[in-house]
């Protein structure tokens, strides 16, 4: 397989990572595009001694670490401005290491190669990230999930993190009614619901009422939501998931939340 095809295969996952890192679809995609442009201008950015995925993520970090603001954008307001302010207060490389570990499931040696630090430091950065972000915010979470065991598992994870669950909805109708009745700070939603309705459509309807609420989608087919053809989620968990992935995604999403009900 050619290098370009190998990069194309890994690009959806780089975009997913970039969006979670910035808290924004627009910012994340801008960084991913800037990485591809940088590689085209300087092929040496893509380290041939590494696997294509690790090399691509390492090139991304070269761009990320040398850019002081979101690539190609005007100054931002609202939730993105809040996100940038919060990011400035964190220990450098902590969220990067956490996302590489929990979201993209890189090993610690691979994380060290990507962000170019010693392996022991990569492990410490992940630990620091959990400590710092667990202190950031606690809030109210709505769960949209039609599989009872998964819903209860997710509820257990987020309540142990100190969050309050407003309720669990199994269908589009239930989700919209619950969201309008109990205002959440974050929505955690499956894609396909019990009556064959769409979790995406339910979330879209709720976002009309609460436009700044962060959303985490859960799906067995993440590539279907990472096509670039329509608005896509900044936070995405792939089924089957590990507890660490849920904890990380919830922490990341809540970290970027801008609602006034959050306990900062």
Is-above-0.75 flag for pTM? no
Determine the pLDDT at residue 11. Answer: 92
**Between 88 and 43, residue with greater pLDDT:** 43
Least-confidence region, from 101-110, 129-138, 202-211, 214-223: 129-138
pLDDT for 49-96, tens place per residue?
999 999 999 999 999 988 754 444 444 455 555 555 665 667 888 889
pLDDT at position 189: 93
pLDDT recorded at residue 108:
95
Task: Note whether 233 and 15 are within 8 A (CB).
Answer: no
pLDDT at 256 (0 to 100): 63
How far is Cα 141 from Cα 143, in angstroms, rounded to an integer?
Answer: 6
Average pLDDT (122-132) is 87
Helix axes 243-256, 148-160, angle to 10 degrees: 60
Indicate if the pLDDT at residue 238 is higher than 90: no
User: Could you give the CA distance from residue 91 to residue 161 in angstroms, rounded to a whole number?
Assistant: 21
Q: State which of 17-21, 75-79, 158-162 shows the largest mean pLDDT.
A: 158-162
pLDDT band at residue 21 under the 50/70/90 scheme:
confident
Question: Whole-angstrom Cα distance, residue 5 to residue 155?
Answer: 40
Please state which of the ranges 7-16, 18-27, 119-128, 216-225 shows the lowest mean pLDDT. 216-225
Q: How far is CA 57 from CA 16, 210, 219, in A?
A: 12, 33, 23
Given this model, what pLDDT does residue 117 score? 95
């Amino acid at each position: 397989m050619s290098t370009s095809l190998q990069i194309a295969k890994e690009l959806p996952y780089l975009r997913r990572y970039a969006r979670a890192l910035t808290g924004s679809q627009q910012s994340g995609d801008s960084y991913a595009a800037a990485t591809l442009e940088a590689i085209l201008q300087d092929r040496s950015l893509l380290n041939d001694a590494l696997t294509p995925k690790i090399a691509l993520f390492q090139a991304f970090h070269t761009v990320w670490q040398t850019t002081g603001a979101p690539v190609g954008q005007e100054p931002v307001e609202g939730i993105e401005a809040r996100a940038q302010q919060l990011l400035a207060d964190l220990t450098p490389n902590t969220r990067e290491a956490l996302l590489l570990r929990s979201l993209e499931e890189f090993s610690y040696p691979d994380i060290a190669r990507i962000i170019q630090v010693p392996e022991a430091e990569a492990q410490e950065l992940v630990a620091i990230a959990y400590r710092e972000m667990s202190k950031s915010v606690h809030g109210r979470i709505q769960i949209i999930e039609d599989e009872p065991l998964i819903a209860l598992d997710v509820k257990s994870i987020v309540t142990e993190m100190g969050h309050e669950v407003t309720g669990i909805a199994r269908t589009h109708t239930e989700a919209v009614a619950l969201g309008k009745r109990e205002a959440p700070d974050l929505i955690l939603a499956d894609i396909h619901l019990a009556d064959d309705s769409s979790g995406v459509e339910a979330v879209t309807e709720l976002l009309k009422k609460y436009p700044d609420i962060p959303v985490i989608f859960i799906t067995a087919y993440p590539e279907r939501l990472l096509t670039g053809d329509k608005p896509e989620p900044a936070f995405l968990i792939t089924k089957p998931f590990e507890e660490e992935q849920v904890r990380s995604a919830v922490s990341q999403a809540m970290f970027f939340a801008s609602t006034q009900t959050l306990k900062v």
